[in-house]
Amino acid sequence: MRQLTALDAQFLHVETATTAAHVAGLAILDSADGSVTRDALADLLLARLHLSPALSLRVAEVPLGLDHPYWVSDLDFDIDNHLFETTLPLPGDDWQLAETVAEIHARRLDRAHPLWEMHLINGLENGRVAVYTKVHHAAIDGVSGAETLAALLDLTPDGHLRSRDRAVSTSRTRPSSRTTTALRTTT
């Protein structure tokens, strides 16, 4: 359990019904062979969550708001609360992708869970898919967010997994060996 800094707490408090305080990134991937699927992405994320412990922590408010909130382990972590899938209608062009990402980005993150989401967006032209990731600014800043995304997706050609330093408590565990190669090719 770790208390949020004043700055990180401010990022939580600045949010309103129309103002979100998350950072985000979009990766366009080649999936002409169909290897980038929601199940493949779930396997990969669950195998690599240990690379960014912040992704398994949720916010715990202090009663009556008398102090800054705390980060606590989400003992009921479920990848289904974080990983979503949608498919663009034909023709799946960049304009449709931009509209979809804008809609997803406008929604605030659910504070009952760790403050991040990943969206697999299927149906792009030429066999491509998009992976849109958003993380609350209280949990991660833009630079460390980019580093985290790179570690989770491992965009290297050979896809070396680092060995797990600690176990990640999940309510839904998947075998990690099924599809670790699914997200290695970018366009």
Q: Which residue has the higher pLDDT, 81 or 179?
A: 81
Per-residue pLDDT band for 153 (boundaries 50, 70, 90) equals low
Distances (CA, A) of 139 to 7, 53, 69, 166, 176: 11, 10, 12, 20, 25
Give me the residue label for tokens 């498919």.
87
User: How close are the terminal C-alpha atoms of the chain, in Å?
Assistant: 40
Number of C-alpha atoms within 13 angstroms, CB side, residue 99? 9
Q: Which of 71, 72, 49 is nearest to 166 (CA)?
A: 49
**CA pair distance 41, 43, nearest whole angstrom:** 5
User: Average per-residue pLDDT in the chain?
Assistant: 81
> Does 137 qualify as catalytic in the annotation?
yes
pLDDT digits (tens, 9 = 90+) for 88-142: 999 999 999 999 999 999 999 999 999 999 999 999 999 999 999 999 988 876 5
Catalytic residue among 68, 119, 137, 160: 137
**Do residues 41 and 131 touch, judged by C-beta distance below 8 A?**
yes
Number of C-alpha atoms within 13 angstroms, CB side, residue 175? 3
> pTM of the prediction?
0.79
Domain 2-153 has CATH 3.30.559.10: yes
